[in-house]
Amino acid sequence: TQLLEQSPQFLSIQEGENLTVYCNSSSVFSSLQWYRQEPGEGPVLLVTVVTGGEVKKLKRLTFQFGDARKDSSLHITAAQPGDTGLYLCADSSGNTPLVFGKGTRLSVIA
């Protein structure tokens, strides 16, 4: 089971600012997922990336998969209070069940 490291652990920013959070692994992902978890709720899938160098956009969120498929980033443009939550990356490679990182807890202040 590979370990996923997410950084930063906590992030507090003002509304309208941009931010980037990271997910890194010691080994190669076959595919990687990003989830957002709001307080009192279960995680909700945002995106799955499978190809090295892949970039996916979801409104103001941009997801990038590293060329070597060992790291990924999530960039949020013009953050809004509704973006507040715990951002989790998960290894969704093949035959293993989902393994999650510890997450980045984002707080966007109005």
Residues numbered 10 to 29 that lie near other proteins (CB under 8 A) are: none
Taking CB under 8 A as the criterion, the residue among 25, 29, 43, 63 binding other proteins is 43
Count Cα atoms within 13 angstroms, Cβ side, for 2: 22
Judged by beta carbon, residue 14 or residue 95, the one nearer other proteins is 95
Judged by beta carbon, residue 35 or residue 77, the one nearer other proteins is 35
Judged by beta carbon, residue 18 or residue 30, the one nearer other proteins is 30
Taking CB under 8 A as the criterion, the residue among 8, 41, 51, 52 binding other proteins is 41
**At its nearest, how many Å lie between other proteins and the CB of residue 85?**
13
Number of residues located near other proteins, criterion CB under 8 A: 23
Does 39 bind other proteins (CB under 8 A)? Our answer is no
Residues numbered 56 to 95 that lie near other proteins (CB under 8 A) are: 88, 90, 92
Instruction: Give the Cα separation of 90 and 96 in Å (integer).
Output: 11
What are the C-alpha distances in Å from 93 to residues 7, 47, 99, 107? Answer: 21, 14, 9, 30
